[in-house]
Amino acid sequence: MLKPDVRGFFDPATATWTYVVWAEGAADKKCAVIDSVLDYDMASGRASTASTDKVIYFIRSKGLQVEWILETHIHADHLTASRYLREKLGGKTAISRHILDVLKTWQPVFHNEDDTPLDGSQFDYLFKDDEVFSIGALEARIIHAPGHTPADTAYIIGDAAFVGDAMFLPDVGTGRCDFPGGSAANSYDSTRKLLDLPEDYRMYVGHDYPPDDARAPLCMATIAEQKSANILAGAAASREAFIKKRTESDKNKSVPALLLPSLQVNLRAGAFGRETGGVQYIKIPLNVV
């Protein structure tokens, strides 16, 4: 099995990890970008590309060719830069077909059907559950891992698992499950799927929130480390105990600061929507969220 090389880029504003995945020894130089970040200032309504430009610089400096621009789920805490990446470097945007459930959930809130297709056609490709694909010479497949949201997907690329918010590092636990369509029970079941991977596999997480700032942000733990030490979802955690702890932890959690702009842009695969008089807008639904 060809093992991938991985370069992580941490965005401190949203605690998000973006990954470039490739095989250094492969002749084709194909790569994937996972969970990109578009910078967005809520107060001014200004978007910028500083974070993604670092990723683009790295890809170009390595002579890589983008084949896939992947999303693990529809993020509620940062805007994806997938559209910008595709314009600059090419590649296909892709996400799980379960995005169709998320689109149905949020369309009545945003009434965005005029610029956000409900069939998911704004993405170049929708993965089926357990689908196998490739990134150049690298073998890859997906695992549907719902719980945080209905559409969460883990990408298994060689011996590396990119799990988004389905699991975090051992001292952080797992992603919240209080968004529409979220489920602590589904989250537990998803962690069992992921922990069934070989113990020497590398698990790369979507965010890192170091407890009490006791350490620098990290992006990876092995499956063995997750099984032995994850504070919520370790191998010894029972389904009942996990659901209880996850539910209690999610009570009265604040809404992510970028929830409303993130959902609208991310459901459009990184687009801001149609212009009115040369200006684009983010909708702010009142007394709904």
pLDDT value of position 103: 97
**Whether the predicted pLDDT of 202 surpasses 90:** yes
Q: Report the percent of the chain where pLDDT is more than 70.
A: 100
Residue 66 domain flag: yes
pLDDT digits (tens, 9 = 90+) for 135-164: 999 999 999 999 999 999 999 999 999 999
pTM of the model: 0.97
Q: Is 34 helix (H, G, I), strand (E, B) or coil?
A: strand
Residue 266 domain flag: no
Dihedral class, residue 155 (left if φ above 0, else alpha if ψ from -120 to 50, else beta): beta
Confidence of residue 275 (pLDDT cuts 50, 70, 90): confident
Residue 46 domain flag: yes
> What mean pLDDT do residues 186-206 have?
98
**H or E segment and range at residue 141:** strand 138-144
Distance CA 52, CA 14 (A): 14
Confidence of residue 214 (pLDDT cuts 50, 70, 90): confident
Residue 221 tokens read as: 């733990």
Boundaries of domain holding 62:
5-252
Distance CA 74, CA 166 (A): 12
Residue 209 domain flag: yes
pLDDT digits (tens, 9 = 90+) for 73-127: 999 999 999 999 999 999 999 999 999 999 999 999 999 989 999 999 999 999 9
DSSP line for 61-130? HTT-EEEEEE-SS--SSSB--HHHHHHHH--EEEEETTHHHHHHHHHHHH--TTTS-TTSTTSSEEEPTT
pLDDT digits (tens, 9 = 90+) for 13-62: 999 999 999 999 888 999 999 999 999 999 999 999 999 999 999 999 99
Q: What is the DSSP letter of 137?
A: T
Counted domains in the chain: 1
Q: Is 17 helix (H, G, I), strand (E, B) or coil?
A: strand
Domain harbouring 105, CATH code: 3.60.15.10
Residue 289 tokens read as: 């969220």
Residue 97 domain flag: yes
Distance CA 19, CA 207 (A): 11
Nearest C-alpha neighbor of 59 from the set 95, 22, 94, 27? 22
Residue 211 domain flag: yes
Residue 262 domain flag: no
Give start and end residues of each alpha helix (H) in the chain. 50-61, 82-89, 99-110, 184-195, 223-229, 239-250, 259-266
pLDDT value of position 25: 85
Confidence of residue 289 (pLDDT cuts 50, 70, 90): confident
Residue 165 domain flag: yes
